[in-house]
Structure 1
Amino acid sequence: MSSSDSKPRSRKGGPSTPRAALDALLAEPAGGPVRRALWLDELDQRFRPLLPPSLAAHARLANYERGRLVFVVDAPVWRAKMRLAAPELLDAARSIGLDAAELIVKTTTPVIASPQSDRKAKPISATALQALQAALESLKEPGSTGSSDST
């Protein structure tokens, strides 16, 4: 079988392309949220060079609606700096064609380690170890069911 025979074909007989898949994804009515996400990403890319250099790596445009710019930052310190720079940021938004009147800044939550990594990081205390060993020994006793029946 030749390599051209193994390529997927579209309905018109030509090779399938990622562009055709994207066009299908963007088709109405389901494509609305995807189109909006792509528009916001494009807007973020246009806005990023207008941010102060110290903020650009820590902030991302999350939404724009009814004159409100919403940014997400990765720490409270960047939230404070964004709020201090609000007038300049609103002017920058207007310079790229947005009718921005308000700046909202939200802080993301830090990534929390998984419970498994917490168990590895914290050693068990001597008291907890003794209690665990006593519980295990009580399970080994002949005739013990591991529960107390008082009936």
Structure 2
Amino acid sequence: MCPMSDYKPKPKSPPRKSSTPRIAMDALLEDPAGNNPIRRALWLEGLDRRLRPYLPPSLAAHARLANFERGRLVFVVDAPVWRAKLRLAAPELLDAARSIGLDAAEFVVKTTIPNPVAAPVRKAKPMSAATLMSLQAALASLKKPDPSGSSDAG
């Protein structure tokens, strides 16, 4: 008996509904489970856009909605000074969240740690021949003793 005699062909997959490939985002959003992180991120982004008009104008560029879960509205700011200013706006933001249908009861502000920007490493430029000769001459002049043995202060 041939070893291939136990081979059973795979059932054919159902034909695609469309001949065009699906967009990656559409494929990710089709996840039937309710815990799709991409869908949640998009929902939070939309919620941030809806609450942003209630932020003081000077603060809007420094704060963003980070999360909403179990009645907690969590914002993130980029410096402690903005944290203090956002906490002053908390009652208005909680009211705004309730007005769009959220059961918001608590307001939390967190400060992010800014990412340090690494200075670019500069590659040393090669020395020109003239510069090299001048440097060597300067170093040589420091090594030579004065042949007269006297100083010019005389």
Whether the aligned pair in 1 keeps the contact of 2:44 and 2:65 (CA below 8 Å) is yes
CA distance 1:68–1:111, shift in 2 (3 Å): same
The separation in 1 between residues aligned to 2:121 and 2:81, in whole angstroms, is 27
Aligned to 2:55: 51
Given the alignment, which residue of 93, 97, 101 partners 2:97?
93
Displaced runs of 4 or more, over 4 A: none
CA distance in 1, matches of 2:27, 2:35: 8
User: Which deviations, in whole Å up to 9, do the C-alpha atoms of 1:95-120 show, x marking residues without a partner?
Assistant: 11111111100111112123x64899
**Where in structure 2 are the equivalents of 1:2-151 lying within 5 Å?**
11-18=16-23, 21-26=24-29, 27-29=31-33, 32-114=36-118, 117=120
- TM (norm. structure 1) is 0.62
Corresponding residue pairs, total: 108
Query: For residue 81 of structure 2, what is the amino acid of its counterpart?
Result: V
Superposition deviation, residue 13 in structure 1 = 4.0
Secondary structure in 2 aligned to 1:90?
helix
TM-score by length of 2: 0.61
CA RMSD of aligned residues (A): 2.4
Letter in 2 for 1:12: K
Aligned-partner Cα distance in 2 for 1:41–1:86: 19
Q: Deviations over 1:7-55 (max 9, x none)?
A: xxx933432353xx32321213496111111111111111111212111
1:25 touches 1:31 (CA, 8 Å); kept in 2? no
